[in-house]
Amino acid sequence: MPALAAGKTAPPINLVATDGKEYSLQGALARGPVLATFFKVSCPTCQYSLPFIERLYEQLRDKGVQIWGVSQDSAKDTERFAKEYGLTFPVLVDENDYSVSNEYGLEYVPSLFLIAPGGQIEVSGDGFSKQDLLAIQRSLAERLAAKPPALFRPEEKIPEYKPG
């Protein structure tokens, strides 16, 4: 489990995305919750997980959902990864000293943090967790007054958990 558990206050995030825009957690939380997903492009569990995060983003994008990927790789490698896996949500870059990742106490990737508008971490998890993703979808749907379709399709064989 990530060092920062649910109920803790989320550290600031101030990073530049692959599109050149700066993103600030404090500013984003004024508009609603933020799902921050930390990852590395070479991580097989990240490669498995991020398309489901994209699916969640596609389901709730029109309702104003804020989902960020936070890459621990170079902007060039991150852009290639985002293109390869079809990511359309903002992908921020935390390379070199991993200052933001360290503030969140990451031990494994992917690590997900659903941060409530007040700044508290609502859901915290690492690896691929079907239960965590469903909890995040429920929470975001309630906050955004949305009724998204099922996150996992009946024909998909989805494991309950894959370690990062």
Per-residue pLDDT tens digits for 49-96: 999 999 999 999 999 999 999 999 999 999 999 999 999 999 999 988
The tokens for 62 are 């029109």
Three-class SS state of 2: coil
CB contact at 8 A, 91 and 18: yes
CB contact at 8 A, 57 and 88: yes
- The identity of residue 134, as a single letter, is L
92: how many CB neighbours lie within 10 A of its CB? 23
Q: What is the pTM of this model?
A: 0.96
More confidently predicted of 69 and 2: 69
User: Which domains can be identified in the chain, with CATH numbers?
Assistant: 14-145 (3.40.30.10)
CB-based contacts of 8: which residues, under 8 Å, 6+ apart? 120, 121, 124
